[in-house]
Structure 1
């Protein structure tokens, strides 16, 4: 193929890609879009794979969920514990230190030996922590010659870690470095400040990695006690996906559950997310952009109105066609991105957040504009067209996001964590049943225009007015945000 023919092929593929990118669950509206397949997108019925969830509880009290997939000869196992930073007590950083020390050594194997063993088996081990749970994920081949030693290593890491005195200082140093990184990120700083305003003097208002003072006070005996108390079978959840039989999955869950400690009752923290009188706050930060976060308490994942509020957050800031993106980026060119989320937080509460960043001279005007948009949205709710577009987009995404074992595992972990119905498509089906009135009622029941908190992190500079909004270019409607030249689209 000549260079010229390759270039023509590139142009043709670019045109097709631009047209397809505009579909996003609905055909592009530009007059130059005449590709027949685009007009058929909305009529295609997309069905996820029929995957059955099996669930059981071990005698030790561990809840287990399993989905069998046979496309690849491998499996993923996710083990989580109610051992997040909200259990730190008087030592902020204790939970993160304990989690980090678990993989630092077991009897007969130090960290390099553990890493070498995993590499030799072709296995991957990852771990993470948030306010509520500490999580460990293992990916391995299903072949017993690989699966059994990999599972044995994971079991020993969780049940008999050395938690050595020698490894405690370097682990603390790593967590201090993570804290410094967070403090140097304006976006993280803004979100952390929002949480501090919503739940002052509560473990959910502190960073997951703790504080400098808390880390300095953590001792090996405190770590050992934390492990005995919270890394217990009744605080554990196990989620399995992959090429395993039901009998193999059950045996794997029993092996882990039976090996875990059996402690006395543990302290379980909770928080009352009640904001104080401060509704706006600005933190000085030397950079050209200002990070802004709006937030107010919402509902937890299991609440009957969660689906409606999640849909509302997606319509507000869930992609290029959201209200915030249309107004702030497409019309005014203020932001690169703006997004919203409705997450579980504070041990049984919820938190609705809206985040964006804007040039520091436009901070105050942008705050006022977004607050006005939020007030309008809470008063009027979404339009029927906005909800219809969201339903199509999520239905298409639902299929794409259940293609791999990792994607299935993520969905299954959420079901396990929040005790949701045993249906991988449950969340999407809830959205499909919503009406505009459902969302309006949920907004009026749980959110209020006078309860928004906002935190801005950036430099104090002279403020300027917003640029005037621009009208969409010819050939683009308010519903189509595609920027491809209509004359360039294949016909």
Structure 2
């Protein structure tokens, strides 16, 4: 495979030092981490909790609705008044939930440091949870779900997640029915069970220091008390001993959307850095093996990629692309061939150097902003990564050799454990699917067909 010649990795790039932090813990258990950057005329903060979508239980979407409602009014503020108060400071305050974590975050001019943090504490501690606002958010989310159903990639991803995380909340997803069933009482219970100072971490980056942030937090959050009662450690998903093939029937689709997934490890696993490099080589960009083969050489698609999803309890390695309908069979064989080549064809020195050079070079650029650095600190704290993790990360990437890439591919790109999902028009694709192998046909609601 032709590759561009590149110089070796410059040692100066590896000499990356994550900004120094000042830290303390308040009496109520809230951890404070401050990255002082006086050259910035603003502050960026991120308050993180051990809450995430995986704790939704039998009501998927609950954490998302909680995040939406936190910024819809609180003690002394209607939703409109709260939004106006934030706008008057010229900043933003938002909240979000992902699989493993829950965040409240914002950016404001440094002259509003105290007032913005005070508003953050009000939103978290005393949310209004107005029934009318909840109804509006549910209608908005349900409308978004209906729109997303028109995307074959979205449908395929939902089903693939379900199959890759059997019996685990990572495989669950919100529906119109689950959203409709969520009431204010459910959100209050989740807030009381998870949004507590004990175990939470507040990271502030910008024109400030630890003394100022500690004083503000004592003033507006010093009497905040409690420990989370719902953040139990969840068991890992059941082991996948054999994958499967699934076809989601979507009449009229002009392309065949292909997704392939392999079970992987949790984010703290020692193989993560080497797998990042392996993924870059396999499908992590426009010069990757998948892209070069399936688009540049074959013309089956506008793009074919791979990505890693590594969470606190488990993970997955996914490859995907929207393929020409007349080339489905060859495309699937092409994906599978590239997976085998990661084991059978050793990565040459230039290909490996290109991948590592990109990863090492782009990391500081992507993480120079206050928001990015705050996010890295929160991630490291909530996932329990070593304190020097981001300082040594680039050295670990640079040290990966070809033998490790081959070992990673042989360990995790296991054909027997691969799950295949195809979304498309069965009338057009059925002959090719039969050549690929037996599959389970489903409608867009994942009900079995036939």
Do these two structures clear the TM 0.5 threshold for a shared fold by scoring above it?
yes
Aligned-partner Cα distance in 1 for 2:168–2:155: 17
Q: Which residue of 2 aligns with 1:91?
A: 59
CA deviation profile, 1:80-139 (whole Å, cap 9, x unmatched):
222222111222222222221111111221111111111111111222221222222110
Aligned partner of 2:447 in structure 1 is none
Aligned length: 425
Residue 160 of structure 1 aligns with which residue? 126
Q: Distance in 1 between matches of 2:199 and 2:353?
A: 41
Work out the CA distance in 2 between the residues paired with 1:234 and 1:181: 39
Judge conservation of contact 2:35–2:209 (CA < 8 Å) in 1.
Answer: no
**Given that residues 276 and 308 in structure 2 are in contact (C-alpha distance below 8 angstroms), is that contact kept between their aligned partners in structure 1?**
yes
SS in structure 2 opposite 1:135? strand
Deviates more, 1:126-135 or 1:44-53: 44-53
Decide which of 151, 171, 190 is 1:185's aligned counterpart.
Answer: 151
Q: Deviations over 1:37-95 (max 9, x none)?
A: xx989669445466213344433333443322222211110112222221112222222
From 19, 44, 48, the equivalent of 1:51 is: 19
> Greater shift after overlay, 294-303 or 179-188?
179-188
> What pairs up with 1:23-172 in 2 under 5 angstroms?
45-46=12-13, 48=16, 51-143=19-111, 146-172=112-138
Q: 1:94 to 1:250 in 2, by over 3 A?
A: same
CA distance in structure 2 between the partners assigned to 1:296 and 1:256 by the alignment: 47
Tell me if structure 2 keeps the 8 A contact 1:159–1:259: no
CA distance in 2, matches of 1:256, 1:299: 40
Corresponding residue for residue 349 of structure 1 = 314
Which stretch of structure 1 is more off in the superposition, 351-360 or 60-69?
A: 60-69
Displacement of 1:170 in angstroms is: 1.2
Q: Summarize the alignment of residues 248-263 of structure 1 with structure 2, pairs less than 5 Å apart.
A: 248-252=212-216, 254=218, 258=222, 260=224, 262=226
Q: Paired residue for 2:271, among 305, 315, 323?
A: 305
User: Is residue 339–residue 409 contact of structure 2 (8 Å, CA) maintained in 1?
Assistant: no
How far off its partner does 1:447 sit?
4.2
Give the match for residue 374 of structure 1: 339
**Aligned ranges 1:288-303 → 2 under 5 Å:** 288-303=254-269
Measure the CA separation in 2 of the matches of 1:378 and 1:128.
39
In 1, distance between residues paired with 2:260 and 2:219? 45
1:282 alignment counterpart: 247
Structure 1 residue 254: deviation in Å? 4.9
- 1:307-456 equivalences under 5 Å are 307-345=273-311, 347-423=312-388, 424-456=390-422
The farther-off stretch of 264-273 and 453-462 is 264-273
Change (3 A) 1:175 1:382: same
Matched residue of 1:166: which SS? helix
The Cα shift of 1:397 comes to 0.9
Give 3-state SS (helix, strand or coil) of 1:300's partner. Answer: coil
Answer yes or no: is 1:214 the counterpart of 2:178. yes
Structure 2 residues not aligned, in runs of 5+: 433-450
Report how far residue 407 of structure 1 moved.
Answer: 2.8
Over 3 Å counting, the alpha-carbon distance change for 1:261 and 1:334 in structure 2 is: farther
Which ranges of structure 1 fall in alignment gaps of 5 or more residues?
1-25, 30-38, 466-491
Whichever of the two has the greater Rg, that structure is 1
Cα displacement (A) at 1:431: 0.4
1:131-184 per-residue CA deviation (whole Å, 9 max, x = no partner) reads 2222221101112xx111111111100111011223221121122123223322
Structure 2 Cα separation of the partners of residues 335 and 253 of structure 1: 53
**What is the TM-score normalised by the length of structure 2?**
0.86
Q: Is the 8 A contact 2:244 2:420 kept in 1?
A: yes
1:237–1:291 Cα change, 3 Å: farther
Judge conservation of contact 2:50–2:231 (CA < 8 Å) in 1: no
Whether the aligned pair in 2 keeps the contact of 1:159 and 1:261 (CA below 8 Å) is: no
Closer, same or farther in 2 for the Cα pair 1:62/1:449, shift >3 Å?
farther
Deviation at 1:255, TM superposition (A): 5.6
Secondary structure of the residue that 2:330 maps to in structure 1? helix
- Give me the whole-angstrom Cα distance separating, in 1, the residues matched to 2:190 and 2:324: 45
**Bigger CA drift: 90-99 or 100-109?**
90-99
CA–CA separation in structure 1 for the residues paired with 2:326 and 2:213: 57
